[in-house]
């Protein structure tokens, strides 16, 4: 009887030791399947990163240019950032033009600090940057794509007869102060 109990005891111990070993066994996938899942994960990660990059680029394109990134041309006749411009300048951006309450250059230019606008008649306005504005302000040069809008025969700029639609204007650059050295006649108050 003693030998039977020893045998039973040995069998129970053997089973007890064998059970955790079988519980610890983990089924491992075949090497080809493991490599395939790793490749799929890598591909999904790459696609996710590319999508994030596209989303970031799209968001950057939709944001308007920051003040320090605004490019101006009129200060020195060369493209440069507004913060590096050698003159006191203001820029009316595309967003400001689109958000204007009135499709009128006079009303839009009234928002520029240091710019004096006088409405002489229902259709005629005069603009200057230094001092008061008289009935004919000829000291402010007005340009459209680098060409003067000044009407020599009449002696002023006809703001309501500009050869451009209000919606076609991308940005308006205003130089406050003398600019005759760069732009010539009619620019001694600004451009």
Tens of pLDDT, residue by residue over 125-159, are 877 777 666 666 667 777 788 787 877 777 777 77
Residue 12 within any structural domain of the chain: no
| Between 106 and 64, the higher pLDDT residue | 106
pLDDT (0 to 100) of residue 136: 67
The two tokens of residue 27 are 């089924």
Average pLDDT over residues 76-85: 64
How many independent structural domains does the chain possess? 1
Distances in whole angstroms, Cα of residue 157 to Cα of each of 11, 83, 168 = 111, 29, 19
Average pLDDT over residues 160-189: 77
Nearest to 188 by CA among 136, 131, 139: 139
Nearest to 173 by CA among 88, 104, 95: 88
pLDDT (0 to 100) of residue 73: 59
What are the backbone angles phi and psi of residue 105, rounded to the nearest 5°? -65, -35
Residue 127 within any structural domain of the chain: yes
Show the domain range for 143: 87-183
Whole-prediction pTM: 0.56
Percentage of the chain beyond pLDDT 90 is: 0
Residue 112 within any structural domain of the chain: yes
Nearest to 97 by CA among 80, 87, 111: 111
Q: What is the mean pLDDT of the chain?
A: 71
Residue 121 within any structural domain of the chain: yes
Question: How many CB atoms within 10 Å of residue 106?
Answer: 16
Where is average pLDDT lowest: 77-81, 123-127, 137-141, 175-179?
77-81
Residue 82 within any structural domain of the chain: no
CATH number at residue 153: 2.170.130.10
Residue 14 within any structural domain of the chain: no
């Amino acid at each position: 009887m003693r030998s039977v109990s020893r045998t039973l005891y040995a069998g129970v111990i053997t089973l007890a030791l064998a059970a955790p070993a079988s519980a610890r066994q983990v089924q491992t996938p075949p090497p080809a399947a493991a490599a395939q899942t790793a490749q799929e994960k890598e591909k999904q990660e790459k696609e996710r990163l590319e999508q994030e990059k596209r989303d970031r680029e799209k968001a950057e394109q939709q944001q308007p240019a920051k003040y320090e990134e605004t490019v101006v041309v009129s200060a020195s006749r060369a493209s440069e950032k507004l913060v590096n411009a050698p003159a006191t300048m203001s820029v009316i951006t595309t967003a400001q033009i689109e958000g204007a309450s009135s499709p009128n250059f006079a009303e839009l230019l009234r928002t520029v600090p240091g710019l004096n606008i006088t409405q002489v008649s229902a259709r005629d306005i005069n603009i200057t940057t230094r001092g008061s504005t008289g009935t004919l302000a000829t000291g402010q040069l007005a340009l459209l794509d680098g060409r003067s809008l000044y009407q020599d025969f009449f002696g002023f700029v006809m703001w309501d007869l500009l050869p451009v639609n209000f919606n076609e204007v991308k940005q308006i650059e205003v130089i406050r102060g003398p600019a005759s050295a760069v732009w010539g006649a009619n620019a001694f108050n600004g451009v």
